[in-house]
Amino acid sequence: MDKLNAMRAFNAVVLEGSFTKAAGRLDMSPQLISKYIGQLEESLKVRLLNRTTRRVHLTEAGQAYFERCQQIVQDIDDMENDLSNLQTQVSGTLRVSAPMSFGIHHLSEPIARFQDQYPEMKVELLLTDRKVDLLDEGIDVALRIGHLKSSTLVAKKIVPIRLVLCASHAYWRRHGEPQDLTDLSKLNYLRFTYSDLRTLLLDWSSSMSSQDFNSDFSSNNGDVIVNLAIQGRGYAIQPTFLTGAAIEANELQVLEKFAIESLGLYALYSHREFLASKVRHFIDFLSDYYGDTPYWDRYCNSQRK
């Protein structure tokens, strides 16, 4: 027996006063309504309704059952409506994970604008360069930079992330601009801990290894690496969302001759089906905010004119 539908049928019969009207209210046949009532009475081992040719009347047991049954059905309807609103309304708390440097430089303004547009939204932002477990840590959406490997998570690309090889003008003048990988290997590489030259340089030679490159500094933070590059300590391979301002201010010079594969900023979430409205709207908002060519890459267009 479908207990919930049987309870709905019973409520409708009591409120409408007849099986026929209850059937019309619930868009069921009178026969199905009668079947549900019979199943309820059989299950409860009591008579709930006294039936006449014109009207139905509640028994004492039926009256007691109706009072509780009506509240239960109403509570269930309210719960389903609340859950449905979570899927259709942009409200509640959104927990977002993002890389440290990207979040510091490029998430404050879009999050502020997102909350201006959706004032019922609360945002909790976790900045970390480790890969969080969305389910274990209760994260709604994780922003990650790189090439995504196969995963049980659903991913949507938000914006391309361009990498450049750059150093200060003083560094290039002092050491000369490298013409090939052999020249480059003799200079000082400010190494980002989480990346490997072999995965960055497209013209990498199979005869070379990471150990062939000089490096007296490494860090797991791109901001520190960019600042050291500005101070002339060596060259860096960093994303334009960190180097763009320094390049535009003529503090760093890019060497375009070295081909570097672009990465991507991806939004990861757990399920494609029944995606919460707050997650879908946040991802779409970020995509529109950054656009196909993000604002930190505009210096490239001006340089090439």
Chosen domain end from 88, 104, 123: 88
Strand-pair partners of 190: 217
b/e string for 231-249 if b means 16 or more Cβ within 10 A?
A: ebbbbbbbbbbbbbebbee
Are 82 and 54 contained in the same domain?
Answer: yes
Q: What is the pLDDT of residues 121-175, one digit of tens each?
A: 999 999 998 888 888 888 999 999 987 765 667 888 999 999 999 999 999 999 9
Inter-axis angle of helices 240-248 and 222-230, to 10 degrees? 20
Q: Is 90 exceeded by the pLDDT of residue 234?
A: yes
* Pair 129, 177 in one domain: no
Amino acid at 235: Y
pLDDT at 305 over 50: no
Could you read off the pLDDT of 30-58 as tens digits, one per residue? 899 999 999 988 988 999 898 876 778 88
What's the CA gap between 90 and 152, in Å, rounded? 25
Whether 173 and 248 share a structural domain: yes
The pLDDT assigned to 18 comes to 86
Q: How many domains does the chain have?
A: 3
Q: Is residue 226 in a domain?
A: yes
Domain membership flag for residue 302: no
At residue 127, the pLDDT reads: 95
Task: Kindly state the helix (H) or strand (E) to which residue 115 belongs, with its residue range.
Answer: helix 108-117
Give pLDDT, residue 213. 86
Which of helix, strand or coil describes residue 199? helix
Amino acid at 151: S
CB 197 within 8 A of CB 213: yes
Tell me what the pLDDT averaged over the chain comes to: 86
Question: Helices (H), strands (E): how many in the chain?
Answer: 14, 12
| pLDDT digits 0-9 by tens, 186-204 | 999 999 988 877 778 876 6
- Let me know: does 135 contact 257? Beta carbons within 8 Å: no
Does 145 map to a domain?
Answer: yes
The last residue of a domain, from among 54, 88, 122? 88
Q: Is there a domain that residue 8 lies in?
A: yes
Q: Which of 88, 104, 135 is the last residue of a domain?
A: 88
CA angle at 294 for the pair 197 and 246, rounded to the nearest 5° = 60
Residue whose pair of structure tokens reads 């361009």 in the numeric block: 162
Q: Which of 127, 175, 165, 301 is nearest to 243 (CA)?
A: 165
- In order of 101, 109, 118, the CA distances from 106 in angstroms are 8, 7, 19
| 103 and 237 part of one domain | no
> Could you tell me the pLDDT band of residue 276, with boundaries at 50, 70 and 90?
confident
Residue 228 token pair: 């050291």
Do 250 and 174 lie in one domain? The reply is: yes
Maximum Cα interatomic distance, the chain, rounded to a whole number of Å = 105
Q: Is residue 305 part of a domain?
A: no
Same domain, 198 and 188: yes
For residue range 112-123, list pLDDT tens digits in order: 999 999 998 999
What is the model's pLDDT at position 208? Answer: 65
Q: What's the Cα-to-Cα distance from 118 to each of 18, 80, 112, 142, 146, rounded to whole Å?
A: 46, 23, 10, 20, 30
Does residue 249 share a domain with residue 171? Answer: yes
Sequence letter at residue 173: R
Per-residue pLDDT band for 178 (boundaries 50, 70, 90) equals very high
Question: Which of 4-8, 84-88, 158-162 is least confident?
Answer: 84-88
Q: Reduce the DSSP state of residue 21 to 3 states and report it.
A: helix
Higher-scoring residue by pLDDT: 25, 108: 108
- Host domain of residue 183: 163-254
Question: What local confidence, expressed as pLDDT, does residue 290 receive?
Answer: 95
80 and 126 housed in the same domain: no
Return the minimum-mean-pLDDT range out of 11-25, 171-185, 217-231.
11-25
Residue 64 lies in a domain: yes
Q: What is the pTM of this model?
A: 0.68
